[in-house]
Structure 1
Amino acid sequence: MTTPILSVRNAVKRYGQVHALDHVDLDVADGEFLTLLGPSGSGKTTLLSAIAGFIRPDEGSIHLRDREITAAPPEQRDFGMVFQGYALFPTMTVRDNVAFPLKVRRRPAAEIAARVTECLALVQMEQYADRMPQQLSGGQQQRVALARALSFKPQVLLLDEPLSALDKKLRADLQWELKALHDQLGVTFIYVTHDQDEALSMSDRIVILRDGKIQQQGAPGELYNRPRTAFVADFLGKSNFIDVSVSSEADGVFHCQAKGAQFEVDAKGASASQVSRVALRPERLRLAEPGQEFLPATVKQVSYLGERCQVIVTHDQLGELLVSCPTWKTGINPRAGLPVSIGWDRDACVPLTND
């Protein structure tokens, strides 16, 4: 990473005996789309609030480029902020809502008018400039909130679960729009969500938090394909977990045993003595007619999802495993009670370390 635009160092925030932030270190690159992802209580909103200036860490520091801003109030940080609940002024028109940050900064009237028009065009809301917020849909209100946050050209835009109040289809559409807007403007985005699909689809980098600590961070594909712990593998997508013992290792391949079943696993840099569990993504399993793959199984349950089926199969030793397979020309029509076989490639499993 080049010189970061924002740095958090050893940040600690306590509420009684609870560590909302537990010695967090984080660098954010200029122009990056960074997502803070985690379950409720993981510390993601607390970290965003500390960056915004709404709370002050009990320990540690926050720097914007070369300037320490740990104790600076929010208005001196000059960050844009988009909230889950829109936070529009109900007595102001769309135009006046977007103009408000510029008026507070005493910008010239001509500059304000031009910038408001520009920002509303960015979010495709220029035709609604004279409407009141209550006359808009939820998605339209969020677009106005985004235009307002961008109006004064902030160095960093902070987004606190901005799409969580919207319905599924609108949320998916706005994900595309937000990512395209980020690519167009090049502004640094720090985005908080608990939605894994949102994080995977939009982010340059994802930071996964749990109990106030960073568990793992990296590009979406890196985290999804190479989770280090069961928590990360289970939180970012679905995984089957298989407890294994490594009987031998040769040429970077573990020979594993799991309750009588035997299979190979690529070591991926892991130590055989530290591996006792592997993660296996459902889409990496193959479902076939009996005898075509190396493990016999029986279909227990099928869930049809349109382009894919989620199939729960049972194996005598391994128990239940989740298989995700396409519904188009699969060669097999899974149904409850059907005998099948399952298999996977040796690079499909990911060795895990203890949480």
Structure 2
Amino acid sequence: MSEMPIQPLLHVREATKRYGEVRALDGVSLEIGDGEFLTLLGPSGSGKTTLLTAIAGFTELDAGSLTLGGTEITQMPPDKRDFGMVFQGYALFPTMTVAKNIAFPLKIRKWSRADIDRRVKECLALVQMEDYAERMPSQLSGGQQQRVALARALSFHPKVLLLDEPLSALDKKLRADLQWELKDLHRKIGVTFIYVTHDQEEALSMSDRIVILESGRIQQIGEPDELYAHPRTSFVADFLGKSNFFEVTVRGAGAGQVTCTAGEVEMQVQQRNGAAAPAAGRTARVALRPERVRLGPCGSERFSGTIRQHSYLGERSQVIVENEALGRVLVSCPTWKSQVELRQGQPISFGWDDDAPILLDDA
């Protein structure tokens, strides 16, 4: 686990939730920092939404505890936790104007009319919706509705803001724009954000830390660059981005580098920070990110191969190169920087720096 960069606010200890034989949460323990943007990331069924709804108080744990600022909240009802919540489907009241939607949580909390009017104006400005106060939700675009939902969730100064895939219903460009806005909003207000998504790029671009879940368990926690550069397992390496995997035999280790062989090919492999040196002779698995592989004209790199497939993606190209010893290797390279013609059947050379391959914990 990463060292906490800031003071912990919320503690989750051994959270367990079963649905019949399925363990949606299997002893999850986690500390969330005060003012942190923490993302829960994983595939469908990984437990991320169950964990979020347990924190919110909508899901009752079978075992474990939740503590907020030293106060036990495990049995506390949702309305007493004072958490804001933003859903994928916006959940705006269709018969209320934008201003009345934002004012609703304040009326429930019996704020004065003057304080409500002032706070509604502040929240509209916060999400750049000042000119839409008297509009109805049906008169707004999806992105505008999500801004109103955010303003409503923040109106009563919640201790924590919980966001359950809030951008997944939006188109790609609007999602990208709102990712920037959400991150900027978090920076401005300093409230703890707990964000659920299955979108890896979204998690990498927005988060202070990411919690990767799979089958109800935490697989790895860390800052985005740490997780991407130093995945511990095949699941993390494959789920967070793309990787090539090689089955290798360890020949020796020293100074943070491990010498391995894949068939007849010898390679130097990066040892993950803090990991014990593997014993010589053991089998292991190595991950190699596609963008760490270089392509060049025949004879310019260590390995030779043949292009089996090529996909043009605009600013990047994805290439599958076949090598007799290593099999098929996925390469991602900037289109504008390509030194070779990328076409099926083309002979090519490829290689990588010694620090590019990563030794994983799972064999």
- TM-score if structure 2 supplies the norm length? 0.96
Which residue of structure 2 lines up, in the alignment, with residue 303 of structure 1?
A: 311
1:4 shift after superposition: 1.5
SS at match of 2:205: helix
Check conservation: 1:142, 1:162, Cα contact below 8 A.
yes
8 Å CA contact 1:61, 1:68 repeated in 2: yes
The residue that corresponds to 1:292 in the other structure is 300
1:324 aligns with 2:328: no
1:195 aligns with 2:199: yes
Instruction: Give 1:179's aligned residue.
Output: 183
Tell me how far 1:117 sits from its aligned partner: 0.8
Aligned 1:99-118 pairs, distance under 5 A: 99-118=103-122
Question: Larger deviation: 267-276 or 22-31?
Answer: 267-276
Offset of 1:275 from its aligned partner? 5.5
Q: Distance in 1 between matches of 2:224 and 2:256?
A: 25
Q: Cα gap change, 1:275/1:220 in structure 2, threshold over 3 Å: closer, same or farther?
A: farther
User: In 1, Cα distance between the equivalents of 2:225 and 2:16?
Assistant: 29
In structure 2, what is the Cα distance between the partners aligned to 1:259 and 1:128? 65
Q: Given that residues 45 and 160 in structure 1 are in contact (C-alpha distance below 8 angstroms), is that contact kept between their aligned partners in structure 2?
A: yes
Give the counterpart of 1:144 among 139, 148, 162: 148
Any residues of structure 2 matched to 1:227-246 within 5 Å, and which? 227-246=231-250
Whether the 8 Å contact between 2:248 and 2:284 is mirrored in structure 1 is yes
Structure 2 counterpart of 1:343: 351
**What pairs up with 1:1-355 in 2 under 5 angstroms?**
1=4, 2-268=6-272, 269-273=275-279, 276-354=284-362
After superposition, give the CA deviation of every residue in 1:108-148 in whole Å (9 maximum; x if it has no partner). Answer: 10110111011011111111111110111111100000000
SS of the equivalent of 1:39 reads: coil
Cα offset, 1:344, TM superposition: 0.5
**CA contact 1:32–1:204 (8 Å) conserved in 2:** yes
Quote how far apart the aligned CAs of 1:327 are: 1.0
Amino acid corresponding to residue 111 of structure 1 in structure 2: D
Instruction: Describe the superposition over 1:211-270 as per-residue Cα deviations: whole angstroms up to 9, x where unpaired.
Output: 100000000000000000000000000000011112233443322211222221133444
3-state DSSP of counterpart to 1:40: coil
Is residue 258–residue 269 contact of structure 2 (8 Å, CA) maintained in 1?
A: yes
Deviations 1:17-63 (CA, angstroms, capped at 9, x unpaired): 11000001011000000000000000000000000000110001101
**Contact between 1:275 and 1:353, CA under 8 Å: does it hold in 2?**
no
- Indicate if the aligned counterparts of 2:293 and 2:331 stay in contact, CA closer than 8 A: yes
For residues 80-114 of structure 1, the C-alpha deviation after alignment (integer angstroms, 9 at most, x for no partner) is 00000000000101110000000000001011011
Contact 1:93/1:133 (CA < 8 Å) preserved in 2?
yes
Matched letter for residue 220 of structure 2? Q
Aligned-partner Cα distance in 2 for 1:167–1:122? 23
What CA distance in whole angstroms lies between the structure 2 residues aligned with 1:270 and 1:61? 32
Structure 1 alignment gaps of length 5 or more:
none
Q: Give the total of aligned pairs.
A: 355
| Offset at residue 329 of structure 1 (A) | 3.0
Is the CA contact 1:275–1:352 (under 8 Å) kept in the aligned structure 2?
A: no
| Alpha-carbon distance in structure 2 between the residues aligned to 1:203 and 1:248 | 37
* Structure 2 portions without partners, runs of 5+: none
Identity %: 66
CA contact (8 A) 2:310 2:317 kept: yes
**C-alpha displacement at 1:294, in angstroms?**
0.7
Name segments (4+ residues, structure 1) moved above 4 Å.
none
TM-score w.r.t. the length of structure 1 is 0.98
The 3-state SS of whatever aligns with 2:337 is coil
Partner AA of 2:278 in structure 1:
A
Letter in 2 for 1:50: A
State the one-letter code of the partner of 1:262.
E
Equivalents in 1 of 2:29, 2:104: separation in Å? 34
Distance 1:42 1:249 in 2: 35
Q: Is the 8 A contact 2:247 2:283 kept in 1?
A: no
8 Å CA contact 1:33, 1:189 repeated in 2: yes
Greater shift, 19-28 or 256-265, is seen at 256-265
